[in-house]
Structure 1
Amino acid sequence: MIDIRFGPQVCGDPTTGSSREWLVPDGRGGYAMGTVSGLRTRRYHGLLVVAGETPAARRVGLVSLDPAVILPSGERVRLGAHEWSSGEVDPRGFELLEQFALIDGVPRWRWRVGDVVIERELAMAYGRSCVAVVHRLVSGGPVRLDLAAVCTWRDAHGERRADGPTPRMDPVAGGAVVEGSFRLAGPDWTPEGQWWLGVRHREEAARGLNAEEDLWYAGRFSGALDKPGDTVSVLAWADDLAEEPPAATGLVEAARRRNRAVVAAAKPADPVEATLALAADAFVVSTAAGPDAVAGYPWFGAWSRDTMTSYEGLFLCTNRADEGRALLRAYAATLSEGMLSNTADTGRVEYNTVDATLWFLHAVTRHVTVTGDTDLGDELLTALHAVVEAHLAGTRYGIGVDPTDGLLTQGGTPGTALTWMDARVYGVPVTPRTGKPVEVNALWVNGLAGLAELTELVGRDATALWGLHTRAAASFRERFPAPVGWLYDVVDGPAPAYPLGGAAHHDDDLLRPNQLLAWSLPYAPLEPDEATLRRITAGLFTPLGPRSLSPDSPGFVGRHRGGPAERDSGYHQGTVWPWLIGPFVDAYRRAGLPTDDLLVGLEGHLTEYGLGSVSETADGSPPHAATGCPFQAWSVAELLRVRRNG
């Protein structure tokens, strides 16, 4: 894997050291997450964040373990870090950090206090809601180490205040059970029990959200570090509370071994692919319903559009086809009226996308093509044919095939945003894209051909499907090329307020990246044209991937910043989306254009924001600072896929 480590100039600066985040997943949707400096900048940061019935229903438990070194002189040196409502940062333990490193996916901090050097490593027990934190004396000593256990128990999207109920603390051997929900265990436990008031999260303030909470100082652990090699370890876990997990040092080593095995199984070609293979592993989770995929950390759960768009990169490019097969079967069971359920983040099943189902068709056909698993194709064939039939007949939200040209139209319901550009502000879609969106119809053409080939592969007649494909492809080639030199983003949209006798419909020629799918998919309706791709590149390409709208377009937003309404207004109005690097590179390759220099920026990005991973979004204007989730599934999956398939 690539070498990810930082020295004191990054670690010791509360800005640079706190803008780089690490993630340690538990394989269930929970995680430990924080910054290089140790300063918590998000409400979502914590050492034990527990997934609930769905990966999105997370709760924060153990917030931090703040170390303090007691030197032989009696001096107490605090190594933790917190920002307070006053803006003051105290303590400032990051100023004593001489290195942070991410080694085989395990974060390691190294503090120096004179000749005393202490390292911390942190890992989660894969498949359990359990974190192990190990402190080791590297040199110097003897010293004593105190560890302040700072806790809460709340929804990950919220905060808890001291004016509410005091957390319940039940004493148990070696520690305590907090709120009956998670347990702390370690050496020489001393209960304390007091509120720390006004802890501030600077990233939440920047996102226009409530930035303060109160934390519960539950107690402290303490242990001697007499000689180099001695350790002081703490465990925290939220399942099987009566059963103590294995030793913390063993869990750290087990995590390191597992991470190496995950990388080896993916058979990466170079350190970048190895890093991306481990990054992909964070998103593949086990739930009560079987394997699933988290869309992004720290706040997303499982979204079917993201899962199916990411499918090839997360599962097929990492040699996880068995888990992928189970996932596809489970998702097929959610089909209703020809539509795939979208997300369980809200706790209810929703059918509110036009494209997730089409990405599902693509995922199944890619699975069968890559693995040769015709049994799965045969098993799902009836359901896939029912998807096509439902779209021909018409389904929810005005989604259906236009009988005049065989193309797919959508968005007949006010207030809906059914494509991946689905942001809404105060209930009003920012980019409604009513009509026939270009990528939706590229997926439709691609899905019909893929299903026809799958049908023939299992020995059945596909004449009708090929007929539908031929007609839709021909209509696509006729309708989408625009006089401006690229493809329309939407055709046959609702007409603006034209004078009497004006146009009956509107074709949107704003320069957006959605058209890339018309050249990039396996059964794309168009052959790429170099001149068109050059125009798209000039208007949209950035080092972190394509913008969602060209800078010279009306409504372009160059900074993805501010409160929720401001951010959502710019979400698809110029913001960069790294996942689009996949169709961009594929289109270039099909045109015979060089691609070696297109991935350099994203590869460098692996050490800039979410360490070893790829962000959800970035600013459309230079220097294209990363925004959104630091760890995003389809961003990782598409970068890995185009590297593996190059």
Structure 2
Amino acid sequence: MIDIRFGPQVCTELTSGATREWLVTDGVGGYAMGTVSGLRTRRYHGLLVVAGDRPAVRRVGLVSLDPAVLLPSGARVRLGAHEWASGAVDPRGFELLEQFALVDGVPRWRWRIGDVVIERELAMLPGRACVAVVHRLVSGGPVRLDLAAACTWRDAHGERRADGPAPRVDPVAGGAVVDGAFRLAGPGWVPEGEWWLGVHHREEAARGLNAREDLWYAGRFSGALDRPGDTVSVLAWAAPLDVEPMPATEVVEVARRRNRQVVAQAEPADDVDATLALAADAFVVRTDESPADVVAGYPWFGTWSRDTMISYEGLLLSTGRADLGRELLRAYAATLSEGMLANTADTGRVEYNTVDATLWFLHTVSRHVAVTGDTDLAAELLPALQQVVDAHRAGTRYGIGVDPADGLLTQGAPDTALTWMDARVYGVPVTARTGKPVEVNALWINGLAGLAELTDVTGGDATDLRRLHARAAASFRERYPAPGGWLHDVVDAPAPAYPLGGAPHHDDDSLRPNQLLAWSLPHAPLEPDEPTLRRIAGALLTPLGPRSLAPDAPEFVGRHRGGPAERDGAYHQGTVWPWLFGPYVDACRRAKLPVDDLFVGIEAHLTEYGLGSVSETADGLPPHAATGCPFQAWSVAELLRVRRSGR
């Protein structure tokens, strides 16, 4: 894997150390997450964040373990870090950090206090909501180490304040149980019990959200570090509380060993591939009660069918996990209704509110069979996939259906945004894209051709599918080329002066990256040409991927910043989306254009924001600072997929 480590120039400076984030996951939807400096900058940061009945329902438990070193001289040196509502940062333990590193995916901090060097490693037990934090004396000593446990038990999207009830802390052997929800265990537990008032989260303030919470100082652990190699360790875990996990040092070794196995299974071609393979693992979740699924992004997203299908090939097929993928595809096929794939998302309700997730599902099944040769799965799912086509021909929810005039898919209903550009501001879609979006019809044409191939390999008759495909492809080639030398983003869109459903219509020639799918998909309707791709690249391409809108458009917003309304308004109006790097590279390859130099910026990004991973979004204007989720599934998946497919 690539070497991710930082010295004191980064670790001790908050604008560097507090803007680089690390992530460790438990494989069932929970995580531990924080910054290189140790300063919590988000309400989502914590050492034990526990998933509920679905990944989006997470609760923060153990927030921090603040070390304090008692030197032989009697001096007490605090190594933690907190920012307060007053603006103060205290303590400032990051100023004593000499190194942070990710070693086989396990974060490691090293503090130096004169000749005393203390190292911390943190890992989660695969398959269980359990975190281990191990402190080891590297040199110097003897010293004593105290670890102050700051706790809460609240929804990861919210805050807990001292004006409500304090967490209940019940003593148990070797530690305590907090709010009956999670258990702490370690040496020398001493209960304390007081509020730490006014903890400030600078990233939440920047996002226009409530940035303050209060933490409960539940107690402290304490142990001696007499000679180099001695350790003081703490475990924290959720239910079952009476089943104590393995020792903390073993948890770290188990996690490290599993991370190496994940990388080896992916058979990486180089260190970047290895890093991305481990990054991909964070998004694949599975419990004893449910099949494999994909978390769209950390720290705030759950599972979304569109994201899952776009991510599928990179996360599962490129990493040697087709067995998990098979069960995932079966589970998603079971959600089909009226020809549409469910988008359960983060609400807990089964919703059918996308036009493209189902079409991505057709693509994903085709790719699974093409890569694995799994014709048994093709035969099993083929009836459901044919029903998708039949439902789209007949018409389904939200006006989604095949236009008999040209064989293309149309869609739209009042106050809906059904494509991946689905942001809303105060309930109003920013880019409704009613009509016939370009990528939707590229996916429709690709899906018909892929389904015809699946029908062939399972011994069926694909004549009707090929007829549908040929008509839609011919209409696409006729309808989508725009005068500017690129493709219309939407054809047959309602004219601005007319309400939805009224005539006349117009064709939207906004220069957006959605058209890339018309050249990048396996059964794309168009063959790419160099002049068109160069026009698109000139307007849209950045080091982290294409912008969502050309900068010369009146609606262009160059910074993805501010409160929720400002950020949502910019989300698809110029913001960069790294997942679109994959379709752009595919289109360039089909046009026989060189692509190796395209990877330089996005690969360098692996050490800039979410460490070892790829962000959800970035600013459309230089320096293209990363925004959104630091760890995003489809961003990682598409980079990994196109790197692997180019070899």
For Structure 1 versus Structure 2, the TM-score category normalised by the shorter chain is: over 0.9
RMSD of aligned residue pairs (Cα, Å) = 1.0
Query: In structure 2, what is the equivalent of residue 374 of structure 1?
Result: 375
Q: Aligned runs of 1:435-514 on 2, under 5 Å?
A: 435-497=435-497, 504-514=504-514
Letter in 2 for 1:170: D
Q: How big is the shift at 1:529?
A: 1.1
Query: In structure 1, what is the equivalent of residue 234 of structure 2?
Result: 234
Q: How big is the shift at 1:138?
A: 0.1
Q: Aligned runs of 1:125-204 on 2, under 5 Å?
A: 125-204=125-204
Query: In structure 2, what is the equivalent of residue 280 of structure 1?
Result: 280
Matched, 1:395 2:396: yes
**CA distance in structure 2 between the aligned counterparts of 1:285 and 1:243, rounded to whole angstroms:** 22
Query: In structure 1, what is the equivalent of residue 308 of structure 2?
Result: 307
Query: In structure 2, what is the equivalent of residue 611 of structure 1?
Result: 611
Aligned 8 A contact 2:85 2:199 in 1: yes
Query: In structure 2, what is the equivalent of residue 600 of structure 1?
Result: 600
Aligned 8 A contact 1:343 1:350 in 2: yes
Q: How big is the shift at 1:599?
A: 1.0
Letter in 2 for 1:320: R
Query: In structure 2, what is the equivalent of residue 353 of structure 1?
Result: 354
Query: What SS class does the counterpart of residue 61 from structure 1 fall into?
Result: strand
Query: In structure 1, what is the equivalent of residue 253 of structure 2?
Result: 253
Query: In structure 1, what is the equivalent of residue 405 of structure 2?
Result: 404
**CA distance in structure 1 between the aligned counterparts of 2:410 and 2:103, rounded to whole angstroms:** 49
Query: In structure 2, what is the equivalent of residue 20 of structure 1?
Result: 20
Matched, 1:540 2:540: yes
Aligned 8 A contact 2:494 2:503 in 1: no
**CA distance in structure 2 between the aligned counterparts of 1:141 and 1:91, rounded to whole angstroms:** 22
Q: How big is the shift at 1:355?
A: 0.1
**CA distance in structure 1 between the aligned counterparts of 2:116 and 2:415, rounded to whole angstroms:** 61
Letter in 1 for 2:523: Y
Aligned 8 A contact 1:495 1:505 in 2: yes
Query: In structure 2, what is the equivalent of residue 8 of structure 1?
Result: 8
Q: Deviation per CA, 1:388-411: give whole Å up to 9, x if none.
A: 000000000000000000000001
Query: In structure 1, what is the equivalent of residue 270 of structure 2?
Result: 270
Q: Deviation per CA, 1:314-360: give whole Å up to 9, x if none.
A: 00000000000000000000000000011331011110000000000
**CA distance in structure 2 between the aligned counterparts of 1:289 and 1:390, rounded to whole angstroms:** 28
**CA distance in structure 1 between the aligned counterparts of 2:167 and 2:158, rounded to whole angstroms:** 16
Q: How big is the shift at 1:15?
A: 1.5
Query: What SS class does the counterpart of residue 17 from structure 2 fall into?
Result: coil
**CA distance in structure 1 between the aligned counterparts of 2:426 and 2:71, rounded to whole angstroms:** 56
Q: How big is the shift at 1:149?
A: 0.3
Query: In structure 2, what is the equivalent of residue 81 of structure 1?
Result: 81
Q: How big is the shift at 1:25?
A: 0.3
**CA distance in structure 1 between the aligned counterparts of 2:580 and 2:403, rounded to whole angstroms:** 28
Q: Deviation per CA, 1:497-556: give whole Å up to 9, x if none.
A: 28xxx9821100010000000000000000001100000000000000000001001110
**CA distance in structure 2 between the aligned counterparts of 1:563 and 1:132, rounded to whole angstroms:** 35
Q: How big is the shift at 1:614?
A: 0.1
Aligned 8 A contact 2:417 2:423 in 1: yes
5+ residue gaps in structure 2? none
Q: Deviation per CA, 1:241-285: give whole Å up to 9, x if none.
A: 011110000110110000000000000000000000000000000
Matched, 1:363 2:364: yes
**CA distance in structure 1 between the aligned counterparts of 2:74 and 2:130, rounded to whole angstroms:** 34
Matched, 1:35 2:35: yes
**CA distance in structure 1 between the aligned counterparts of 2:600 and 2:530, rounded to whole angstroms:** 21
Query: What SS class does the counterpart of residue 15 from structure 1 fall into?
Result: helix
Aligned 8 A contact 1:405 1:471 in 2: yes
Query: What SS class does the counterpart of residue 491 from structure 2 fall into?
Result: strand
**CA distance in structure 2 between the aligned counterparts of 1:105 and 1:162, rounded to whole angstroms:** 36
Query: What SS class does the counterpart of residue 10 from structure 2 fall into?
Result: helix
Aligned 8 A contact 2:545 2:581 in 1: yes
Query: What SS class does the counterpart of residue 598 from structure 1 fall into?
Result: helix
Query: In structure 2, what is the equivalent of residue 336 of structure 1?
Result: 337
* TM-score between the two structures when normalised by the length of structure 2: 0.99
**CA distance in structure 1 between the aligned counterparts of 2:497 and 2:160, rounded to whole angstroms:** 50
Aligned 8 A contact 1:613 1:632 in 2: yes
**CA distance in structure 1 between the aligned counterparts of 2:277 and 2:123, rounded to whole angstroms:** 18
5+ residue gaps in structure 1? none
Letter in 2 for 1:117: V
**CA distance in structure 2 between the aligned counterparts of 1:240 and 1:436, rounded to whole angstroms:** 51
Q: How big is the shift at 1:35?
A: 0.1
Aligned 8 A contact 1:26 1:128 in 2: yes
Q: Which moved more, 1:340-349 or 1:599-608?
A: 340-349
Letter in 1 for 2:316: F
Query: In structure 1, what is the equivalent of residue 59 of structure 2?
Result: 59
Matched-pair identity in %: 83
Letter in 2 for 1:340: L
Q: How big is the shift at 1:38?
A: 0.0
Aligned 8 A contact 1:425 1:565 in 2: yes
Letter in 2 for 1:132: A
Query: In structure 2, what is the equivalent of residue 222 of structure 1?
Result: 222
**CA distance in structure 1 between the aligned counterparts of 2:425 and 2:339, rounded to whole angstroms:** 28
Aligned 8 A contact 1:54 1:344 in 2: no
Query: What SS class does the counterpart of residue 265 from structure 1 fall into?
Result: helix
Q: Aligned runs of 1:44-55 on 2, under 5 Å?
A: 44-55=44-55
Q: How big is the shift at 1:289?
A: 2.1
Query: What SS class does the counterpart of residue 606 from structure 1 fall into?
Result: helix
Letter in 2 for 1:357: T
Aligned 8 A contact 1:263 1:278 in 2: yes
Q: Deviation per CA, 1:114-148: give whole Å up to 9, x if none.
A: 00000000000000000000000000000000000
**CA distance in structure 2 between the aligned counterparts of 1:70 and 1:259, rounded to whole angstroms:** 35
Letter in 2 for 1:410: Q
**CA distance in structure 1 between the aligned counterparts of 2:497 and 2:257, rounded to whole angstroms:** 64
Aligned 8 A contact 2:43 2:201 in 1: yes
Query: In structure 2, what is the equivalent of residue 123 of structure 1?
Result: 123
Q: Aligned runs of 1:513-552 on 2, under 5 Å?
A: 513-552=513-552
Letter in 2 for 1:387: V
Q: Deviation per CA, 1:573-604: give whole Å up to 9, x if none.
A: 00000000000000000000000111110000
Aligned 8 A contact 1:310 1:638 in 2: yes
Query: In structure 2, what is the equivalent of residue 72 of structure 1?
Result: 72
**CA distance in structure 1 between the aligned counterparts of 2:531 and 2:143, rounded to whole angstroms:** 68
**CA distance in structure 1 between the aligned counterparts of 2:550 and 2:344, rounded to whole angstroms:** 30
**CA distance in structure 1 between the aligned counterparts of 2:390 and 2:115, rounded to whole angstroms:** 73
**CA distance in structure 2 between the aligned counterparts of 1:507 and 1:22, rounded to whole angstroms:** 44
Q: Which moved more, 1:338-347 or 1:519-528?
A: 338-347
Give the count of matched residue pairs.
643
Query: In structure 2, what is the equivalent of residue 289 of structure 1?
Result: 290
